[in-house]
Structure 1
C-alpha cells in the first residue's frame, strides 16, 4: 500500500487506473516520469503563489493596521 504522501497517492491512483486498462497494455515509463515532473512543478508553482499571497497579506496588515 502506498504511503499517504502526495507521491504515494499519485502512485496508487496510477496503479488503479492501470488495472482498468485492457489486457496486454504496457504503460510508457517516460510518460509516467513526465507526469511526475509536471505534478511536482504544479505543486512548486502553487506553493510560490501561496507564499506571495501570505507576504502580501502580512504587508497589508503591517501598513494598513499598524
Structure 2
C-alpha cells in the first residue's frame, strides 16, 4: 500500500485541489482510494453544502 502526504505552507494554496485530482486519478485506475483531512478551519457548521467543507468535498471525490 502506498501513501501520499500533501502539505502546503498556507491556506488557499491548492492542497485540496491537488488531493482531489490525485484521488480521482487513482480511482479511475481502479485503485482503492482513501483520504483524510484531520484539521480544517473556517467551516460553517450550519451549512450542509460540500462546498462549505474541504473534507466533505474530498469524501465525495474519493467515493
With normalisation by structure 2, the TM-score equals 0.34
Q: Per residue, is there more helix in 1 or in 2?
A: 1
Q: Which has the higher contact order (CA 8 A, sep 6+)?
A: 2
Rg larger for:
1
